[in-house]
Structure 1
Amino acid sequence: MEVSIFTLEISILTMVLLSLGAMFLLGMPVFMSLAVASALALSYGGYLPMSVIHNTMFDGLNIFPLLAIPCFVIAGTLMEYGNITKQIVDVVKQLVGRMYGGLGLTTIVACTFFAAISGSGPGTVAAVGTILVPAMIRTGYSKDYAASVASSGGTIGLLIPPSNPMIIYAILGNVSVTAMFTAGFLPGFIVGFSMCMTAWLIARQKGFGRSEELPPFNLRHFLLSCVKGFFSLITPIIILGSIYTGLATPVEASVLAIAWALFVGFLINRALTLSAVYKSLLEGSLICGAVLLIVGTSTLFGRILTFEEAPQLLAEMALSVSENPYIILLMIVGVLLILGMFMETLSTIIILVPVFMPMIHIIGIDPVHFGIILVLTNQIALSTPPLGVNLFVASRISKVSVERISIGVLPYIIAMLICTLLIVFFPKISTILPELILGYGR
């Protein structure tokens, strides 16, 4: 009897995975693929009522922290229309714009600042790239270099808090959102520094000189730029500071970000219009609807996988290869890098977290450490074809083919892979700040 039940579970899992893969190949939306695969499993198994579908989906949607995602997206769009992004770029350009590959470094540093506002990779590429890619091309940088820097710099949006993928992971993995945000700072700095060095080395090798657009550095002019853009520059401090001081939850901070963007855009910069507000609200609503559909169906899919003991089977398979946590983490990184080439970031996280999380606990890997690795591998996926979203955004801005940009981002991908290996083998990089600031793990 036990053998027959085990055989039934294996056959159901096989059917679910094959049907899911077939629907992905047919180009069906992710949420529909998950819903159909789950319904097939319920119909074939016959041991759960079909009412579990709507009950589980409602439970998956009834999660308050999800509200932070559309709010951060709306805030990022409002800040782009309200010239907050432009003022941040102007100040950063004063600092690093005169170095070899200076505008490339400006792009990466500005992406880091804007990532701390919007939490979106493609949104960061669009906001910063629209300003700096044409400036690089106009100053003599090649289109390939400009597009690849913008595409790679935008990936930092996943690792620098507030990160939308981190919020999704924290919800699904039952991990503190604040702990994940805190853990992202040091890895984000390491990745950002490695990409700056890569951009500088490529610029020096190809002969892209110092920016001819900027006059010699003038402290007075720099301070005046800081004063002029003061309200824009303190935006990340206000948003993240409200979280870490305990004055606001991540959801409340996302609403604060919208209020601050409206205040600065309308009253300080006087650049925001009612039309821009409407576009921001529309974009946030569309993203919210898409995320909620995927989260609801993925909750159902994850519950079925749990009921079929898929995580336990996966853990047994992994442990049969090796019991070394680092070896297993490297195997998971390989799977994530391959899947990231064909799946959208949030979809990858939503589908795989219910599968991997129980195994992570069994092996004894810290969930915050694993979350950073998961986000970082998805960060790399944003710039890998054929589904690298950042590549398409950069292509649209620079008018360069995705194929050419894909070649241009290879050095940055190598740099991020090295950073990934560093974080895999040195978990403290991910956990030391949560431990010091939040008392995580005590």
Structure 2
Amino acid sequence: MTSYIAILFVIFLMVGMPIGFVLGITGLFGMMKTGIPSVLHLVPQRYFAGVDMFTLMAMPFFILAGEIMNKSGITSRLVKFSNVLVGHLQGGLAHANIVASVFFAGITGAAVSDTAAIGTMLIPAMVEEGYDKDFSAAVTAASSIIGPTIPPSNIMVIYGAFMQVSIAGLFLAGFIPGLLIAAVEMILTARIAKKRGYPVGTRRATIKEVWIAFKEAAVALIMPVIILGGILSGLFTPTEAASVAVAYAFIIGRFVYKNITIRDMWPLFIKMAHTTGVVFLVIATATILGWVLTMEQIPEKVATLMLSISTNKWIIISMILVLLLFIGMVMDITAALIILGPILHPLAVSLGFHPIHFAIIMVLSLNIALMTPPVGACLFVACGISKITLEQLSKEIFPFILVVYIAVLMVTFIPGITLLLPKLFGFAN
């Protein structure tokens, strides 16, 4: 049965079938292979059960909040503030690109949105200032994976819902790793900028200029504080926090910046529904396939196989990292999370990894797929904006993939990076 499912899965992927249908049809054929007709009655049941979670309602609200804030023009204010902070460095616009992604991460929690919003502004500006077009696209795509790491993060909401891990704990755990990724990318950017002679800012911004730029961006920077502060204080659940974020974003856009009307909301609702529908389709169909894999005892078989190779937790986690890197290169990260999570999470916990620590390891490892050829979603967005080929971008982004993976290794082998904040707030022992 295992070989049968694997072969079907690979064939459907190779012919270009959308991942949601690949998962559902593979799961359906797997159920049919059991030879028990009554099992097919479980297909609609499992499909509905996959998305029948109150926690998952947070995701469309976070998506909508991000769309409203982006529509309100907050992206330009965040970019301006970032440029004021680091624009004086050599390669200043590239550094501002990364810093802007850190700020933008606290609003949308989505890498593709980050690439589209920031890339549309900064890639043309960087090219005009003398940066290579492929480098401009590479730094945009690479920095965008900070989005799903720093809260709010849609992929953390999905992981927490399915693995029964505290979403508030995951949000806290993502802060330092997200900043670590930004740091290693800025170090690499500084080296490349010096080597290629990219522009140097004329002067460091004055305190007054920093203050003015901060005031313009402050209302957006407050959003993650409201979200996480409300959750940690017990005022509201993650789902309620997401709805509060939507209300806050609308108030800011409508009454503070005054560039959003009620009529503007309809296209944003459509976009939110489209994005949510695609993700929920993947979640629902992955649940069907996940049920088949569980019925065939695949998690137990994988655990037994890995433990037969070694019982050393660090060797096994290294094997898991390689597996996640490979899977992320060929599969949608949401699908990979839902299918592999129930297999790898219990194994990692049994080896002594804290559930929050392993969750962040898995999230970061899969996030790399967003900037990795051949199916990295952020790459295609960056290519579309910069008008370059995937081959050109792939060559330029390789050093960024390497340094981000080094950051993932640091997070993996130094648990304190991830668990420091959750421990301070009582979400980890």
- TM-score, normalised via structure 1 length: 0.93
Which amino acid is the alignment partner of residue 20 of structure 1?
F
Q: Partner of 2:146: helix, strand, or coil?
A: helix
Residue 319 (structure 2) aligns with: 331
Which amino acid is the alignment partner of residue 334 of structure 2?
L
Distance 2:228 2:95 in 1: 24
Contact 2:152–2:224 (Cα < 8 Å) also in 1:
no
Residue 286 (structure 2) aligns with: 298
Residue 393 (structure 2) aligns with: 405
Q: CA deviation at 1:327?
A: 0.8
Q: Partner of 2:39: helix, strand, or coil?
A: coil
Residue 16 (structure 1) aligns with: 5
Q: Deviations over 1:23-43 (max 9, x none)?
A: 111222222222222222222
Moved more, 129-138 or 320-329: 129-138
Q: How does 1:72-151 map to 2 (within 5 A)?
A: 72-151=62-141
Residue 280 (structure 1) aligns with: 268
Q: Deviations over 1:213-234 (max 9, x none)?
A: xx65222232222233332332
Q: CA deviation at 1:357?
A: 2.4
Contact 2:151–2:224 (Cα < 8 Å) also in 1:
no
Number of matched residues?
428
Q: CA deviation at 1:153?
A: 0.8
Contact 1:116–1:161 (Cα < 8 Å) also in 2:
yes
Moved more, 190-199 or 271-280: 271-280
Distance 1:312 1:222 in 2: 55
Change (3 A) 1:101 1:299: same
Residue 427 (structure 1) aligns with: 415
Give yes or no for the alignment of 1:195 onto 2:185.
yes
Give yes or no for the alignment of 1:183 onto 2:173.
yes
Alignment partner of 1:354 out of 342, 362, 378: 342
Distance 2:128 2:263 in 1: 30
Q: CA deviation at 1:97?
A: 0.8
Change (3 A) 1:119 1:216: closer
Alignment partner of 1:233 out of 202, 221, 245: 221
Give yes or no for the alignment of 1:65 onto 2:67.
no
Q: CA deviation at 1:243?
A: 2.2
Q: Partner of 2:362: helix, strand, or coil?
A: helix
Change (3 A) 1:39 1:99: same
Q: Deviations over 1:107-154 (max 9, x none)?
A: 101101111110100101111111211221121212122111111110
Q: CA deviation at 1:393?
A: 1.0
Contact 1:85–1:232 (Cα < 8 Å) also in 2:
no
Residue 242 (structure 1) aligns with: 230
Q: Deviations over 1:265-295 (max 9, x none)?
A: 1111112244542221111101111122111
Distance 2:213 2:227 in 1: 22
Task: State percent identity of aligned pairs.
Answer: 35
Distance 1:228 1:121 in 2: 24
Specify every segment of 5 or more residues in structure 1 that has no aligned partner in the other structure, as ranges: 1-11
Moved more, 79-88 or 432-441: 432-441
Specify every segment of 5 or more residues in structure 2 that has no aligned partner in the other structure, as ranges: none
- TM-score, normalised via structure 2 length: 0.95
Which amino acid is the alignment partner of residue 18 of structure 2?
P
Residue 44 (structure 2) aligns with: 54
Q: CA deviation at 1:248?
A: 2.1
Contact 2:168–2:228 (Cα < 8 Å) also in 1:
no
Q: Deviations over 1:298-356 (max 9, x none)?
A: 12221221121111111110011111111111111111111211112212212211222
Distance 2:374 2:28 in 1: 29
Q: Partner of 1:409: helix, strand, or coil?
A: helix
Contact 1:341–1:388 (Cα < 8 Å) also in 2:
yes
Residue 23 (structure 2) aligns with: 34
Q: CA deviation at 1:17?
A: 1.8
Distance 1:340 1:284 in 2: 24
Q: Partner of 2:151: helix, strand, or coil?
A: coil
Q: CA deviation at 1:179?
A: 1.1
Which amino acid is the alignment partner of residue 234 of structure 1?
I
Which amino acid is the alignment partner of residue 198 of structure 1?
L
Contact 1:139–1:211 (Cα < 8 Å) also in 2:
no
Moved more, 48-57 or 372-381: 48-57
Distance 2:152 2:204 in 1: 35
Change (3 A) 1:307 1:26: same
Give yes or no for the alignment of 1:266 onto 2:254.
yes
Distance 1:184 1:228 in 2: 26
Q: Partner of 1:157: helix, strand, or coil?
A: coil
